[in-house]
Structure 1
């Protein structure tokens, strides 16, 4: 069964316009009816000098982009599709943590909403091993300095026949009779969770880094599994994913010993078999 956009309520712009400072400090939300890519819109705003905390959310994204330039489109009002502008002051060497902490923040918000979610390293969010949310982080150079555009897409109200691939799911499907959460409330919760994780990461220090790595590892369904890691040169790293190191790398124990791989160094990570 396909649900029409008329049966899917729009985002509550009144609530979202008042999101800062009462609900999520330092955030301002702009809602657009349709966009090819919210990341592309925020990149434009960033280069024009927009401040940190800008959020652009669309009711209908028509040409979304993921890792490796994969693209997709979801029915209007069936998903939460938005991008956040961040201007980190943390050292550049720690920026690889951004996609991981974003995935952790989404996972935390979904758990709070009653879903048995988990993070697949580095940043997909799963429910029962099926993808419910994806994340794309882009580093952009601007006159004000480098910034990060964090794109997040969460399948909220998609029906089974609207899913892009068989390995995906939606909150509506997983919620069953209790129904999918309200998209406006969920957006506020995800932004609050992201703000908390981002501020902790920005504060820096070894202790904060260790806590973030431990929290992420606890939420990561990849750790503790046999995995197959496809590398850009065509080779494959196979073994047990045993940990997330302080740099956010996935640690794999394989036939040749222990290897740590970064998110930018892999094509795919899959459960073995």
Structure 2
């Protein structure tokens, strides 16, 4: 059954739990008013031997983080932050963040696109029409058995565009987007109702079929395709993004030919 952990605002917890049972029987749903990090909470449980499936939501994260240790900062109510932890044994892990991104984007709006490897953007909402960041995905794992790991999929989405704090945003091109720009009146609970079942469904589909089941759908949401990009990959410092290969690695056409940029410690930004 659903577990209620002192949320400060009403959430459709029971209805969401019932919907998720159809996708992943036995999954629990927990909502906390405040946590250090939903990802870290589920990872800690996994390290202690907990192999159960769980959707964990925090209305506010004190130490939320993104890829490469970057902090995720937002005021309570301005964003949705949650993690899904499941015992997981896909044939290959490559492309999982893109598959999750596809599920989230399709559950929200046509304007939501995926910026390789794990960011969600609002297309055409920047000063020059280049788009602005809407959210991100962080996937971490813990070994729990010889052939199975506990996968923890963390997702953060801006419901309202952050104001940047007292200093604001010196460059408006860097101000993140909010879902209210695309879906007026939406709140974090409604975003969760739309997104969580889609993510759990995608995890099942990826485990069975891998990235092949998502490649064409990713191409329809690919923010970088056809754009000039810069990367931290020494063999592809700059070029034109050509999409991704069968395993979700970025293809970049450089002066030296087409280069593959694998998921990992790589940063890709539109020039």
* Distance change in 2, residues 1:15/1:157 (3 Å): farther
Kindly indicate which of the two structures has a greater share of residues assigned to helix. Answer: 1
Offset from partner CA, 1:77-131 (integer Å, 9 cap, x none):
221101111222212xx212221111111111112xxx51100011100003111
Distance in 1 of aligned mates of 2:52 and 2:99: 17
* Count of residues in Structure 1 that have an aligned counterpart in Structure 2: 250
1:125 is the counterpart of 2:128: no
* Distance change in 2, residues 1:161/1:229 (3 Å): closer
1:192 is the counterpart of 2:178: no
Q: Is the 8 A contact 2:81 2:155 kept in 1?
A: yes
Tell me the residue number matched to 1:240.
240
Aligned residue for 1:71, secondary structure, equals coil
The correspondence of residues 88-237 of structure 1 with structure 2, limited to 5 A, is 88-91=88-91, 94-111=92-109, 116-128=111-123, 129-142=131-144, 145-158=148-161, 160-161=163-164, 166-175=174-183, 178-179=184-185, 181-204=186-209, 209-231=211-233, 237=237
Tell me the residue number matched to 1:3.
none
* Distance change in 2, residues 1:110/1:67 (3 Å): same
1:270 is the counterpart of 2:269: yes
TM norm structure 1: 0.82
Q: Is the 8 A contact 2:105 2:114 kept in 1?
A: yes
Of 186-195 and 161-170, more deviation after overlay is shown by 161-170
Of 212-221 and 41-50, more deviation after overlay is shown by 41-50
Q: CA deviation at 1:160?
A: 3.8
Distance in 2 of aligned mates of 1:164 and 1:136: 26
**Following superposition, which runs of at least 4 residues in structure 1 exceed 4 angstroms of deviation?**
161-165
Once superposed, what is the RMSD of the aligned Cα atoms?
2.5
Q: Is the 8 A contact 2:137 2:155 kept in 1?
A: yes
Aligned residue for 2:226, secondary structure, equals coil
Q: CA deviation at 1:216?
A: 1.1
Aligned residue for 2:77, secondary structure, equals coil
* Distance change in 2, residues 1:81/1:61 (3 Å): same
- Gaps in structure 2 of 5+ consecutive residues: 1-7, 124-130
Q: CA deviation at 1:242?
A: 0.7
Distance in 1 of aligned mates of 2:237 and 2:87: 34
